[in-house]
Amino acid sequence: MKITRIDTFILHVPVTRSQIADSTHQVTHWGAPGCIIHTDAGIFGTGYSGTHGHLPTDRLITDCIEHTFGPLLAGEDPHAVQHLWRKLAHFPPAQWVGRGGITHLALGAIDIALWDIKAKAAGLPLWQLLGGSDSKIIQAYNTDGGWLNWSLADLVADCRRLVEEEGYSGVKIKVGSPNPTDDLRRIEAVREAIGPAVKLMVDANGRWDVTTALSLGHRFADFDIFWFEEPIWYDDLPGHAELARKLATPIALGEQLYSLDNFRDFIRAGAVHFVQPDVVRLAGITEWWQAADLAYAHRLPVVSHIGDMMQVHLHLAIAHPACTMLEYIPWLRRCFVEPATVRNGYFVAPQQPGAGTTLKDSALNEFNVRN
C-alpha cells in the first residue's frame, strides 16, 4: 500500500451553551485541524489535532501537514507507522523550529491518520489491533458540567443532573476564580449535591502560584477531591513536585506536556500522580503509547486528557493496561460516523474498523472553515 494524497481540513465546532471558560481559556468553538491520508488501496485515514478554534494558528498546523510533512510521506507505505513517525519527528528542518507545539500537533494528526489506515486495513477497531479486549470496563467522568463561567446554581444543577439522570460516577469542575474562596464555595456545594460516593476532581488550568495552590489544596481533603489538576504553571516541575509531596490530594497533569521527555522528567521528580497524556498534544498514538508505558512502569494510572479527542483515546484506554477511566466531553460527537458513547456511566467499545476518527460528510460540509 502506498500513500497517494493528503487533504487537510479545519473544523470549528460550537461548544456547549455557545461558550465555556476555565481559569485561562474562553472557548466558543472547538478546533480540529487535521488531514485525510489517501492510499492506492482505496483506504483512507483521518487524523486531527485539538485547538481552541483560532483560525490563524489552526492554519499553521495544516500548513505544516501539507507543506513540511506531506512531501515526506508521498509514496510511503502507511503500515510503517513507527518508521514514518521517526522520519517526520526527526526531519531536521522541522525539528529545528519545534520539538513541541505546532510541528508536534501536525505530526500527531498524521500519526493518528496512519494508525486509522492500519486498523482499517486489518479490518479491526484500533483497540483490537492494539491487543485490547472489549471485556475491559472504562469508567467515564464528565467535564462538561463544571465550567468556570457558569453560576453556582447552574454548576450545581448540572453536576446533579450528570450524576442523577445520566449516571456518571465522576465529575470534574474548574477552579481558579479571581477569588479563591469562591472556588471553595463551589466545591462544597457540588460535593453536597452529588453525595460522597461520586468522584469529584478539580482543575485550575495552571492558574495559581505554589503558595495559593498549597493553601487551597490543603482544604481539598475536606471534600474528598479525587485529584487536583494543573494547579500551577504547566512547566513548573519543582513546584509540582513540592505540591505532590505536601498535599494529601493527588496531582494530575499532562495536557500541556508535549513530549515523552517531559513526561519522563515529571514522573521521575514525583511531580504527578494521575498521568494525563493527550494524543493530539503528544505526536499521536505512537508517542502517547510510549508515555503510557512509561507511566505504567512507575505504576501510575493514565487518564488521558481529552480536549475532545474521546474517539481515539477510547480505543487507547481499552487497549492500554494503565487506563481504567476516561474524560467525557461531547462537543465533537456529531462529527463522527461512530461517535464515542457512554451508557450508564461507562464507555461502549467501538465496533467499526479504524481509530474512530472517520468524519461524516455532513461534518466536513458544515464545520470546515479551511478555504
Q: In one letter, which amino acid is 322?
A: A
- Interacting positions 155-174 with Mg ion (CB under 5 A): none
Known catalytic membership, residue 305: yes
Q: What is the DSSP string of 59-120?
A: HHHHHIIIIIIHHHHTT--TT-HHHHHHHHHT-HHHHHH-SSTHHHHHHHHHHHHHHHHHHH
Q: Exactly one of 203, 278, 287, 327 binds Mg ion (CB under 5 A); which one?
A: 203
Q: Which stretch binds ligand 0YR (CB under 6 A): 22-30, 191-199, 316-324, 337-345?
A: 22-30
Distance, in Å, from the CA atom of 231 to the CA atom of 244, rounded to the nearest integer, reads 10
What is the distance between the alpha carbons of residues 25 and 31, in angstroms, rounded to a whole number?
Answer: 13
Among 307, 345, 350, 354, binds ligand 0YR (CB under 6 A): 307
Backbone phi, psi, residue 184, to 5°:
-65, -40
**Which has the closest alpha carbon to 350: 360, 359, 338?**
338
Q: Taking the CB of residue 92, how many other CB atoms lie within 10 A of it?
A: 6
Active site residue 246: no
One of 305, 313, 315, 320 touching ligand 0YR (CB under 6 A): 305
Catalytic position from the list 12, 29, 174, 240: 174
Q: Hey, what amino acid is at 14?
A: P
27 is in the binding site of which of Mg ion, ligand 0YR, none (Cβ under 5 to 8 A by kind)?
ligand 0YR
| Residues pairing with 9 in the sheet | 34
Helix (H/G/I), strand (E/B), else coil: 141: strand
The least distance separating Mg ion from the CB of residue 254, rounded to whole angstroms, comes to 9
From CA 168, how far away is CA 172, in angstroms rounded? 11
Kindly state the DSSP code that residue 345 receives in the 8-state scheme: T
Among 203, 263, 358, 367, binds ligand 0YR (CB under 6 A): 203
Only one of the segments 90-98, 112-120, 225-233, 347-355 lies at the binding site for Mg ion (rule: CB under 5 A); that segment is 225-233
Applying CB under 5 A, which part among 2-10, 55-63, 223-231, 359-367 lies near Mg ion?
223-231
Least distance between ligand 0YR and beta carbon 95 (Å): 26
Give the amino acid at 29: H
Among the listed ranges 21-29, 78-86, 266-274, 315-323, the one in contact with ligand 0YR (CB under 6 A) is: 21-29
Phi then psi for 114, rounded to 5 degrees? Answer: -65, -40
- Partner in contact with 307, chosen from Mg ion, ligand 0YR, none, beta carbon below 5 to 8 Å by kind: ligand 0YR
Query: Which of 52, 79 has the CB closer to ligand 0YR?
Result: 52
Q: Does 86 bind ligand 0YR (CB under 6 A)?
A: no
Interface ranges with ligand 0YR (CB under 6 A) = 22, 25, 27, 143, 203, 205, 255, 305, 307
Interface ranges with Mg ion (CB under 5 A) = 203, 229
